[in-house]
Chain A
Amino acid sequence: MTVSATITSGKKKLKVVGTRPVRPDGVPKVTGLARYGADYSLPGMLWGKILRSPHAHARIRSIDTSKAQALAGVKAVMTSADLPEQKFEYVGPERVAVNFWHMTRGIMAREKVLYEGHAVAAVAATSRTVADEALRLIKIDYELLPHVINVEEAMQPDAPLLFEDMITRGVEPAPDKPSNISKRIEFKIGDLGAGFAAADEIVEGAFRTAPVHQGYIEPQACLARFDADGQAELWASSQGHFVIRALTARLLGMDIGNLRVHPAEIGGGFGGKNVPYVEPVALALSRKTGHPVKIVLSREEVFKACGPAAGSLMTVKIGVTKDGRIVAADGVFRFQAGAFPGSPVMNACMCAFAPYDIPNVCSVGYDVICNRPKTAAYRAPGAPISAYAVESVMDMAAASIGMDPLQFRLKNVARPGTPTVWGPKHAHEGYAETIQALLQHPGYAAPLGKNQGRGVAAGYWFNNGGESSAAAHVNEDGTVVVATGSADLSGTRAAMALMAAETLGIDYDKVRPIVADTASIGFSGLAAGSRTTFATGIAVVEACRKVIGELRARAAMIWDVRAEDVAWEDGCAKRTGDNAGGVEPLSLKAIAAKRSVTGGPISAEVSVNAGGVAPGFATEYCDVEVDPETGAVKILRFVAAQDVGRAIHPAYVEGQIQGGVAQGIGWALNEEYIYDEAGRLANAGFLDYRVPVASDLPRIEAVLVEVPNPNHPFGVKGVGEANIVPSLAAVANAVSRAIGRRMTELPMSPPTVLAALDSERGG
């Protein structure tokens, strides 16, 4: 279902954009020939394996690698001593700041191990078997330390400290004692006290969410080669090979120019593959041995050592008037960062109330470290977590004044000109349209049966622009190669080919899009933040426009006229101006055939730092049925409306929404990291960490709302993330309404729901 009545920019009918062709990289993915991170090999290759801490928190007294080094077939053993020390400083924008002092300790522990699974040493050997045996021969003398797993315990003044000198940032005056609170942030507009004083009803709640994993099916994997002259190559599965290059080079103390990173196909990322885990280790081992080294993580290692999403403890309070206006909103969001600072709590604070026009708002966030793996980004990082708390309270508020939850949201909807807590005013439409799409959806008014409930929620995500590069090369026969530097996680090559074909006026199958390596195209940022089709798309369109300029010049040369007298229409150069009549247009193919006599190869590369981002809004509803005997929740129906700006390839846009919702359902109902008393992860496998399977889910109805972004040639806003933001809350609101009791903790696994039912029944 597509709601496109709001499209206003339809000056010219699009021919290719908006169709659903087979993706250009599709066939190798259904025949098994596509090569992912673990699928590369080189002659003389060694296998790398990583030794990990069995303890949640311990000081490393000593590491004895002598026996491992003496084992036949072992070529090198490495520890943190093989990586240079890094300066302690936070660099980059605060929302995504990086501290290399922390990052190198995340790659390989130095003074202490900070969580079970923390890497402490690695080996390179002639076979996996030998490498495993060598790990067993490494002796580490640990001094065990008390650990802390949960966020509220980690915030206590007497909690075990992960870093004995960590002073909370963002508090004035600075605290005189160290703590596990890395950072406090606050966003404020209006006068909260006055806002609550004007409210007829005040509703509030405390909410908790468990850490969950992105759950990409491909474990981290790479192949590294470091040559004797200091030149190196990596074949890696990541969300951004340029970023992997920069971080890996920095962590190894190399020049970026000496490292070339080839993008392997990536088997899912969802934010979890924005940062390196195995690449610096494999490259350091290759540097030590002079052999190529391959590392492929096990699923257990992925769960224990590759960042999950943060868990949280949140309180949210809102004040509403009887006629349904939200007059005040107050949120406190405490996020587990894992062992190093850097949870997405700032995003959480910013996105929490962003869908609404509320005059008085305060959002406070705490970034708290604890003895768990450092968190990584996960699809709209931070936003689904705070939206779960906020949208739960919105649901309570709508109920308290007897208003339909969609109408309540519509009444308070953010519009262009509505201020955000972080300063700038909203500048784009799109939210109200998603609510209206659901109000018009036939299922929204359908009656519910016994033990069933319908939940509604909304969400906001920034989307992103930024640095991207693209090249368009016209081949000798008039076909076109489009190269970008953006990893393709989900079909973006198809989107690039569609936009290129539309711009050039040629058929989709005459364009071959590729993802080029770091030495073959200009810098391109991560495929993250829902930015690829927007920012890299702009680079592709600009490169194609540059090529069109060249094609017009070549046609002018052939016709011996000025380039201004040549137009580009429908994939052909056409004469305009005086004496244009009767001259046959020159096709791209015809111009390409004459390239060598008109100036040589025709190609263009464009690098952009794309601004003009428009955010993503999503509104969703879900129907559930709760089994009163077991507490199991069945999702009966899920309808998700998202403003995508413009769907370049609608089938893959629907797929993004369906996938985001499925992850949200898993987060809401089943997924959680479970730790034992010793601080060890008890469910580091897909059997006990249960992601949704096909039989758990219904069909997921994606409603594409298209309110074009005027700052993109085709109106793109970004589609990957906004969809998951409301999903957790939509399920929670549905379950709460089904059982008549507010659910305040995720996951709502059967025992949790049963306990809520029992307390409702007075049991």
Chain B
Amino acid sequence: MAKYHVTATVNGDAAEFLCETHQTLLEVLRDELGLTGTKEGCGTGDCGACSVTIDGRLMCSCLVLAVEAEGKAIQTIEGMAAGTELHPLQRKFLEHAALQCGICTPGILIAARSLLERNPDPTEEEVRYWLAGNLCRCTGYHKIVDAVLDAAREMRRE
């Protein structure tokens, strides 16, 4: 089976890979590019653990074909911190104990950043509805919502 050659930008750096037509972006990120921070929880777009942004748009990478990444700018959890400086959302998640097992955390952080880019001052209800596509089975969401609201407050001050 002939493979396709794809050129894209991943976390700001040029990336290229070979993939088969049926392979998802999630599979390529994890298995070809070694970026295993993006998680597979369902493979059907229902849990949000594989959330990434593609040209700034929040997507489930399990629902995107790898070939569709051609020419696109992809952001994954591995690109969220600025070097050794954590993003405010990452810091607030730690301070608020907003993770337990942590498997949903990368997807939720990506989704939350996407929310705050669009709406820097969300209400609790807006946070809950924006994150409704990201399943967390450990926390009951309470501390996640607190962490996002607190990060938003801090980011507005900056």
Give the chain A neighbours of B20 by CB distance below 8 A.
129
Q: How far is the CA of A38 from the CA of B40 in the complex (A)?
A: 9
Q: In the complex, what's the smallest C-beta–C-beta distance from B153 to chain A, in angstroms?
A: 17
Shortest C-beta distance, A301 to chain B (Å), equals 10
- Assess whether B36 is interfacial by the CB under 8 Å rule: yes
Contact B101 A691 (CB under 8 A): no
Q: Does B35 contact A (CB under 8 A)?
A: yes
* 17 A/B residue pairs, CB under 8 Å, sorted by A: A26-B99, A217-B47, A217-B101, A217-B104, A266-B101, A267-B41, A268-B100, A296-B40, A299-B41, A490-B100, A658-B139, A662-B139, A685-B42, A693-B133, A694-B131, A695-B131, A700-B140
B97 to chain A: closest CB distance in Å? 4
CA distance A93 to B42 in the complex (A): 36
Nearest CB of A to B129, in Å: 5
Name B126's closest neighbour in chain A (CB-CB): A695
Interchain CB contact under 8 A, B141 and A662: yes
Would A299 and B39 be within 8 Å (CB), given that A32-B77, A655-B100 are in contact? no
Complex CA–CA separation, A661 to B49 (angstroms): 22
A34 CB within 8 Å of chain B: yes
A563 on the B face (CB < 8 A) = no
Across the interface, A697 reaches (CB within 8 A) one of B47, B97, B140, namely: B140
| Residue numbers in A under 8 Å from B128 (CB-CB) | 694-695, 697
Indicate if B122 sits at the interface (CB-CB under 8 A): no
Q: Are B78 and A218 neighbours in the complex by a CB distance under 8 Å?
A: no
Residues of A within 8 A of B142 (CB): 654-655, 658, 697, 699-700
Complex Cα distance A600/B43, Å? 53
- Does B53 sit at the interface, judged by CB under 8 A? no
How long is the Cα–Cα vector from A30 to B110 in the complex, in angstroms?
Answer: 10
Cα distance A490–B43 in the bound complex, in angstroms: 24
Chain A 681-705 residues near chain B, CB threshold 8 A: 685-687, 691-697, 699-700
Q: Is A36 an interface residue (CB 8 A)?
A: yes
A299-B42, A699-B142 as given contacts; A217 in contact with B106, CB under 8 Å: no
| A279 at the binding interface (Cβ < 8 Å) | no
Q: Which residues of A contact B80 (CB under 8 A)?
A: 30-32
Interface string of A36-67 (1 = CB under 8 A from B): 10110000000000000000000000000000
Closest 6 CB pairs of A and B: A32-B37, A267-B103, A662-B140, A29-B102, A32-B77, A658-B140
Number of residues from B at the complex interface, CB < 8 A: 58
Shortest distance between the CB of B119 and any CB in chain A (Å): 15
Given contacts A267-B102, A268-B100, 12 further A-B contacts (CB under 8 A): A30-B102, A30-B109, A31-B80, A31-B90, A36-B39, A39-B36, A214-B137, A217-B137, A268-B138, A658-B140, A694-B132, A695-B128
The complex places the Cα of A268 from the Cα of B143 at a distance, in Å, of 17
> For the complex, is B94 an interface residue (Cβ under 8 Å from A)?
yes
Is B76 in contact with chain A by the CB < 8 A criterion?
A: yes
- Contact of B46 with A36 in the complex, beta carbons under 8 Å: no
- Cβ of B137 and Cβ of A216 under 8 Å apart? yes
Q: Hey, which chain B residues are within 8 Å of A299, CB to CB? A: 41-44, 46-47
- Complex alpha-carbon distance, A226 and B69, angstroms: 37
Beyond A30-B90, A31-B81, A489-B101, whether A659 also contacts B140 by CB under 8 A is: yes
Q: A129–B131 Cα gap in the complex (Å)? A: 33
Considering the chains assembled together, what is the distance between the CA atoms of A649 and B96 in angstroms? 12
> C-beta contact mask, A699-719 vs B, less than 8 Å → 1, else 0?
110000000000000000000
**Cα distance, A333 to B95, chains bound together (Å):** 43
Q: Does B155 contact A (CB under 8 A)?
A: no
Task: Give the Cβ gap from A150 to chain B, nearest Cβ, in Å.
Answer: 27
Please give me the residue from chain A that is nearest to B98 by CB atom: A655
Q: How far is the CB of A672 from chain B (nearest CB, A)?
A: 16
A22 within 8 A of B: yes
Across the interface, B97 reaches (CB within 8 A) one of A23, A27, A269, namely A23
Is there a chain A Cβ closer than 8 Å to B61's Cβ? no
- 8 Å CB contacts to A: which residues of B86-130? 86, 90, 93-97, 99-106, 109, 125, 127-129
Asked if B67 is an interface residue, CB under 8 A from chain A, the answer is no
Our pick among A128, A268, A298, A693 for the contact of B103 (Cβ within 8 Å) is: A268
A555 to B39, CA, bound (A): 50
Point out the residue from A22, A36, A695 that lies within 8 Å of B95, measured CB to CB.
A22
Give A264 Cβ to nearest chain B Cβ, in Å.
Answer: 11
Contact A661 B140 (CB under 8 A): yes
A697 with B137: in contact, given A27-B86, A32-B36 (CB under 8 Å)? no
Residues of A within 8 A of B40 (CB): 38, 219, 296
- A265 to B81, alpha carbons, bound, how many Å? 21
Chain A residues within 8 Å of B136, by CB: 217, 694
Once A32-B78, A268-B137, A699-B142 are accepted as A-B contacts, the answer to whether A219 and B132 lie under 8 Å apart by CB is no
Q: Is the CB of A34 within 8 A of B137?
A: no
Residues of B within 8 A of A207 (CB): none
Whether, in the assembled complex, A35 has its beta carbon less than 8 Å from a beta carbon of chain B, the answer is yes
Instruction: Report the separation of the CA atoms of residues A489 and B143 in the bound assembly, to the nearest whole angstrom.
Output: 17
Residues of A within 8 A of B95 (CB): 22
The reply to whether B35 and A686 form a contact with Cβ atoms under 8 Å apart is no
Instruction: Specify the chain A residue showing the minimal Cβ separation from B45.
Output: A687
Closest to B37 in A: A32
> Does chain A have a CB within 8 A of B6?
no
Q: Please give me the residue from chain A that is nearest to B100 by CB atom.
A: A490
Chain A, 4-32, contact with B by CB distance < 8 Å: what is the 0/1 string? 00000000000000001011001101111
